[in-house]
């Protein structure tokens, strides 16, 4: 094929108004700068907030191409929300430090816990999601996903003192609701029963009530599935229906152990 034709073909398939990879790169930089502003002692808060405001202006010009969609004016309201978000994040960090015997200090939690970075990014993105800002909240949590392996949709609703330990492979869907003091471990999925476009904007991910613990690799599916408060969901459980408060749910596989020498 002639070079001119190849170029025309590639240009044609990129003919989508929002297909600008700079949006992704700028959102990643914005997410990291926000985290540094909130948690790095050596980062000057005043200067960084100014810079973030300018970064946000650039970003919002890139994503707000539909007339009437909310844009730059969000920033001032968002800054007003930061103390409340910070308070919630401190509760998350305390929940980790309080529950995990491997945590030596709260600094260690802020610096090293992938679950904390994922929750922080989720909480910071959820506010922008609530304002209706296109693309940016989703790209923020995707930035955390690529670093931590934890995929939390910015639309999920998550209460106070949320603890994700180890974090790799956790998936929390867009319409999941998680109440307070919930603990989850690596590989947990809070997902939809079926993936079907007609379920768009419908509640399709589970509700997890207060004080529930969900151990590694448990999969809980469905918008009507409610895990009652104080319940414990064991590792590898596959659950598609509700369980009442104070339930202990376990998966009991048969494991056979034989001596390889005696047989
Ligand atoms: C987490 C999950 O269920 O994902 C499936 C699909 N993306 C949905 O949101 O329904």
pLDDT category, 17, cuts 50, 70, 90? Answer: confident
Span 49-95, pLDDT tens digits: 999 999 999 999 898 866 666 666 799 999 999 999 999 999 999 99
ipTM for the complex? 0.97
* Sheet bearing 207-208, strands edge to edge: 157-158, 177-178, 207-208, 226-227
Cβ–Cβ under 8 Å, residues 173 and 204: yes
Q: Whose CA is nearest to atom 6 of ligand 1?
A: 195
> In the structure, which protein residues have their CB atom closer than 6 angstroms to any atom of ligand 1?
171, 173-174, 191-192, 195, 204-205
Q: What is the DSSP letter of 243?
A: B
Residue in 174, 189, 207, 223 to alter for ligand 1 test, most ligand atoms within 8 A of Cβ: 174
Pocket test of ligand 1: the residue of 141, 173, 196 to mutate, having most ligand atoms within 8 Å of its CB, is 173
**pLDDT in the model for residue 153:** 98
Which atom of ligand 1 is nearest to 192's Cα?
3
Between the CA of 74 and the centroid of ligand 1 the distance, in Å, is: 28
Structural tokens at position 16? 């989508």
């Amino acid at each position: 094929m002639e070079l001119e034709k190849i170029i025309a073909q590639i240009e044609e398939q990129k003919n989508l108004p929002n297909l600008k990879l700079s949006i992704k790169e700028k959102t990643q930089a914005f997410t990291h700068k926000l985290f540094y502003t909130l948690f790095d002692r050596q980062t000057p808060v005043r200067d960084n907030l100014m810079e973030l405001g300018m970064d946000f202006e650039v970003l919002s010009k890139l994503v707000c191409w539909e007339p009437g969609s909310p844009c730059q004016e969000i920033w001032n309201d968002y800054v007003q929300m930061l103390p409340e978000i910070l308070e919630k994040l401190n509760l998350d960090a305390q929940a980790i430090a309080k529950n995990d015997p491997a945590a030596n200090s709260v600094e260690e939690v802020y610096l090293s816990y992938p679950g904390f970075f994922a929750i922080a990014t989720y909480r910071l993105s959820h506010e922008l999601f609530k304002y209706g800002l296109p693309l940016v909240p989703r790209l923020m949590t995707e930035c955390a996903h690529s670093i931590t392996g934890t995929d939390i949709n910015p639309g999920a609703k998550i209460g106070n003192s949320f603890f994700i330990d180890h974090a790799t492979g956790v998936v929390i869907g867009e319409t999941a609701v998680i109440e307070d003091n919930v603990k989850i471990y690596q590989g947990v999925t809070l997902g939809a029963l079926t993936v079907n476009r007609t379920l768009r904007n419908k509640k399709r991910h589970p509700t997890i009530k207060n004080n529930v613990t969900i151990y590694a690799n448990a999969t809980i599916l469905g918008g009507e599935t409610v895990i009652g408060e104080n319940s414990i969901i064991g590792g590898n459980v596959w659950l598609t229906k509700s369980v009442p408060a104070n339930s202990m749910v376990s998966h009991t596989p048969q494991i056979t152990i034989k001596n390889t020498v005696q047989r």
